[in-house]
């Protein structure tokens, strides 16, 4: 078992490196280069652009050597200020700052500086995490619970009217474009009925921006009102997320439950004369949940990558919206940072899901 | 299929049954005993799936609209009428043209839907075509040859699957798209294949051990021929199902990317584009403009997904139980 885990972790290293490479070169291949962003701002002088370029080891005319330099600078191996592998302190740059290393590069948790906002990308991402987590965690809990309940009922009452209806609506909601559903919800519930707000996390007239120091002071004064307001804003985005995501999961639960119900031990349990309820819930359900747990594990990275579409439609200031703004502004460091962070999370959650599965299901072979 | 109609002798069930009804004993009865090939059996299974039949019908209509729509109903992007009320109903349009209402330029939304079908459906089809081709090539190579080739290709597939798909699509569409539908199709196609490649690999891994492949290998059939002539037809069921899903996804993806203004340029018309232009008007109550393009889009995608489900039943009957 531990051997298996170690081998899997070692296998992660090339994958993570590949992710770093891709997130870097995707931006590198983009026409115009990062400094193209400044063309639209007449107040930025040429000297300032040069200074900015130097900070990130960028050059106006990129050559293979400059790309390697830039990449190792972004990685944190190379120091752009001293133009060598050594940091200002004289130690090797990739070491932690306390051991004489530098502070630049992803090794040191520095994902660069947002071009538009002029702030460290790491801070910007961390700042957006709570908003995304509130939205996605709530949605995930609701849809997984509902998917399990609906899927199990559908499997137990196979080919019943309920099962058929669930299948039909699964396909319909699975196919609906999320952003269109969101728009229609906004029209129906915010424009016509006026019962739910269309956009944002909080009512702007009453509260400061979410997750700012001012907000937390106000939150301390009236915590219940704040939670209620957030909840009120969450109804529409969460409903949309649940509706479009529940379909795939309930199908999965149904399939897994059906497979378990066909097992010999379930037949034995029935033949022994155990009450149906007991056979379904004690014998079949627990085993049917094993693959479901793995599947949910694979969905967990979504908690961080956020619901890009939903966040865009409902102007939910989370990581997904940060990404969209980044794409719009061609804000390279935000894009590289977000792709890197979310992909690494995907990879790690995949590993955790596999390990969890291997632990709970002893039938899994490790080779 | 060579001999669909056979004469049966008296000891055949059909003849025995006629006996009991009291027909003359020495009379030959002709019974239509059709031998069905693989595809006919699949078609029979497919026909039983009512929703899939409806889905196929809707898709055929959409393809027809995509091909002939613009020809029969030419669209002029510069023909913008002066209307006083955004999204209002100027009396210049016929009732049919006005079926779905008008946009801010007084243009028929129905026409936007008809004209937009071309790009949307084309993006779906060609993306699916490109992705399926690459997926089959990569998956077949990995699954058939195994070993180091397999390892390398699958690590690459892992990598592609680890990076959130939508992120890469959006970045690529923004930086390389330039509003051109062809470029968009290439981007979608070149990024949508990894899931399919993994599926094809799994199919090949199991099929290459089967007897018919061993037999082919024993008589000296080349690797390329075994891969494409012997194994591929047997793996086609799940592949077709999977490529219909890619088709459906690509249509939604085009709409979303265009909706964010990273996709099709504003002067072209696609369903996503029609939705994108209507975003702002929703809050002023002009629901029809975003509603109808989106509804047609949703209908098409639902149809494709039902079609995929029917194809799964027809071509991949073993998977039905789970």
- Residue B15 pLDDT more than 90? no
pLDDT band at B95 (very low <50, low <70, confident <90, very high): low
pLDDT at A258 > cutoff 50: yes
Which of A151-155, B33-37, B178-182, B205-209 is predicted least confidently?
A: B33-37
A-chain residues within 8 Å CB-CB of B256?
177-179, 309
How many angstroms separate the CA atoms of B197 and B115, rounded?
34
**Using one digit for the tens of pLDDT, what is the confidence trace for B41-51?**
888 888 888 88
Selected for mutation to probe chain A from B171, B270, B308 (highest A CB count within 10 Å) is B171
In this prediction, residue B105 has a pLDDT band, given cuts at 50, 70 and 90, of low
With an 8 Å Cβ cutoff, are A177 and B279 in contact? no
Cβ neighbours of A189 in B, within 8 Å: none
Identify the pLDDT of residue B139.
92
How much is the ipTM here?
A: 0.82
CB A147 within 8 A of CB A253: yes
Residue closest to A134 by CA, chosen among A211, A245, A223, A248: A211
Nearest CB to A172 within list B285, B302, B321: B302
Number of H helices, E strands in chain B: 13, 2
Q: What is the band of A4 on the pLDDT scale with cuts at 50, 70, 90?
A: confident
pLDDT exceeding 90 applies to what percent of chain B? 18
pLDDT of residue B194: 92
- At CA B158, angle to CA B153 and CA B164, rounded to 5? 135
Q: Is the pLDDT of residue A48 over 90?
A: no
- Show Cβ contacts of residue A200 under 8 Å, excluding neighbours closer than 6 positions: A233, A314, A315, A316, A317
Convert the pLDDT of each residue in B221-243 to its tens digit: 988 899 888 888 888 888 988 89
Using CB atoms, which residue from A30, A312, A347 is nearest to B162? A347
Average pLDDT of the segment spanning A134-156: 92
Per cent of chain A over pLDDT 70 is 96
What was the pLDDT predicted at B4?
Answer: 43
Question: What's the pLDDT band for B3 if we cut at 50, 70, 90?
Answer: very low
B155 contacts A15? CB cut-off 8 A = yes
Confidence of residue B82 (pLDDT cuts 50, 70, 90): low
Tell me whether residues A183 and B279 touch, CB distance under 8 A.
yes
pLDDT > 90 in chain A, percent: 8
- C-alpha distances (whole Å) from B192 to each of A15, A42, A358, B135 are 19, 40, 30, 9
Q: Chain B interface, mutation test: which of A323, A327, A330, A339, most B Cβ atoms within 10 Å? A: A327
Q: Say how many residues make up chain A.
A: 367
Q: What is the mean pLDDT of residues B67-83?
A: 72
* Residues paired with residue B6 on neighbouring β-strands, in sequence order: B31
Per-residue pLDDT, averaged over A358-364, amounts to: 72
Contact B105, B278 (CB under 8 A): no
Q: What rounded mean pLDDT belongs to chain B?
A: 80
Query: 3-state DSSP: chain B helix, strand, coil percent, rounded to 5?
Result: 70, 0, 25
pLDDT band at A98 (very low <50, low <70, confident <90, very high): confident
Tokens 């239509």 belong to which residue? B32
Q: Across the interface, which of A171, A176, A346 has its CB nearest the CB of B162?
A: A346
Q: Please report which confidence band the pLDDT of residue A296 belongs to, taking 50, 70 and 90 as the band edges.
A: confident
**B257 at A interface, C-beta within 8 A:** no
pLDDT of residue B206: 86
Asked whether the predicted pLDDT for residue B21 surpasses 60, the reply is no
Confidence of residue A170 (pLDDT cuts 50, 70, 90): confident
């Amino acid at each position: 078992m531990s051997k298996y885990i170690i081998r899997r972790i070692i296998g992660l290293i090339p994958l993570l490196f590949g992710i770093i490479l891709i997130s870097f070169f995707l931006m590198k291949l983009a026409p115009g280069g990062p400094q193209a962003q400044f063309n639209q701002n007449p107040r930025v002088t040429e000297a300032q652009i040069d200074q900015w370029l130097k900070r990130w080891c960028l050059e106006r005319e990129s050559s293979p050597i400059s790309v390697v330099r830039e990449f190792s600078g972004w990685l944190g191996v190379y120091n752009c200020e001293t133009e060598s592998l050594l940091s200002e302190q004289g130690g090797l740059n990739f070491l932690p700052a306390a051991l004489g290393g530098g502070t630049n590069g992803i090794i040191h948790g520095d994902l660069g500086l947002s071009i538009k906002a002029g702030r460290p990308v790491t801070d910007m991402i961390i700042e957006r995490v709570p908003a995304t987590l509130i939205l996605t965690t709530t949605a995930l809990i609701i849809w997984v619970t509902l998917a399990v309940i609906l899927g199990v009922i559908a499997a137990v009452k196979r080919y019943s009217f309920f099962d058929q209806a669930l299948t039909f609506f699964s396909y319909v909601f699975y196919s609906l474009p999320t952003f269109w559903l969101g728009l229609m919800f906004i029209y129906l519930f915010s424009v016509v009925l006026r019962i739910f707000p269309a956009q944002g996390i909080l009512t702007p007239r009453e509260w400061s921006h979410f997750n700012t120091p001012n907000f937390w002071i106000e939150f301390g004064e009236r915590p219940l009102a704040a939670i209620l307001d957030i909840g009120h804003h969450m109804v529409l985005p969460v409903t949309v997320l649940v509706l479009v995501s529940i379909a795939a999961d309930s199908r999965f639960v149904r399939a897994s439950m059906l497979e378990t119900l066909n097992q010999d031990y379930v037949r034995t349990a029935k033949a022994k004369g155990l009450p149906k309820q007991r056979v379904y819930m004690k014998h079949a359900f627990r085993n049917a949940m094993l693959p479901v747990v793995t599947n949910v594990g694979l969905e967990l990275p979504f908690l961080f990558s956020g619901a890009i579409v939903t966040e865009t439609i409902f102007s939910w200031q989370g990581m997904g919206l940060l990404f969209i703004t980044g794409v719009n502004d061609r804000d390279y460091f935000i894009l590289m940072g977000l792709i890197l962070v979310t992909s690494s999370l995907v990879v790690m959650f995949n590993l955790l899901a596999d390990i969890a599965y291997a632990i709970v299901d002893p039938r899994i072979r490790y080779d | 299929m060579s001999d669909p109609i056979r004469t049966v002798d008296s000891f055949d069930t059909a003849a025995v049954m006629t006996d009991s009804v009291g027909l003359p004993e020495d009379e030959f009865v002709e019974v239509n005993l059709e031998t069905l090939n693989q595809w006919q059996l699949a078609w029979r299974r497919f026909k039983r799936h009512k929703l899939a039949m409806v889905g196929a019908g809707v898709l055929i209509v959409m393809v027809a609209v995509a091909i002939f729509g613009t020809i029969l109903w030419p669209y002029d992007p510069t023909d913008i009428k002066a209307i006083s009320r955004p999204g209002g109903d100027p009396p210049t349009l016929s009732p049919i043209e006005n079926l779905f209402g008008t946009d801010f330029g007084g243009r028929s939304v129905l026409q936007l839907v008809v004209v937009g079908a071309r790009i949307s459906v084309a993006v779906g089809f060609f993306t699916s075509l490109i992705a399926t081709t690459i997926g089959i090539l990569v998956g077949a190579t990995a699954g058939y040859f195994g070993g180091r080739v397999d390892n390398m290709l699958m690590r690459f597939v892992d990598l592609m699957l680890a990076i959130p798909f939508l992120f890469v699509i959006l970045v690529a569409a923004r930086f390389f798209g330039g509003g051109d539908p062809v470029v968009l199709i290439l981007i979608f196609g070149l990024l949508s294949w990894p899931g399919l490649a993994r599926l094809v690999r799994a199919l090949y891994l199991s099929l290459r051990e089967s007897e018919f492949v061993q037999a082919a290998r024993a008589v000296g059939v080349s690797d390329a021929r075994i891969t494409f002539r012997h194994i591929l037809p047997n793996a086609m069921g799940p592949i077709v199902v999977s490529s219909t899903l890619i088709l459906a996804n690509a249509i939604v993806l085009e709409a979303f990317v265009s909706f964010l203004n990273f996709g099709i340029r504003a002067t072209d018309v696609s369903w996503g584009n029609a939705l994108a232009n209507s975003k702002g008007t929703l809050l002023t109550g002009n629901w029809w403009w975003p509603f109808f393009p989106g509804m047609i889009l949703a209908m098409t995608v639902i149809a494709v997904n039902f079609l995929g489900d029917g194809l799964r039943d027809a071509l991949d009957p073993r998977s039905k139980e789970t």
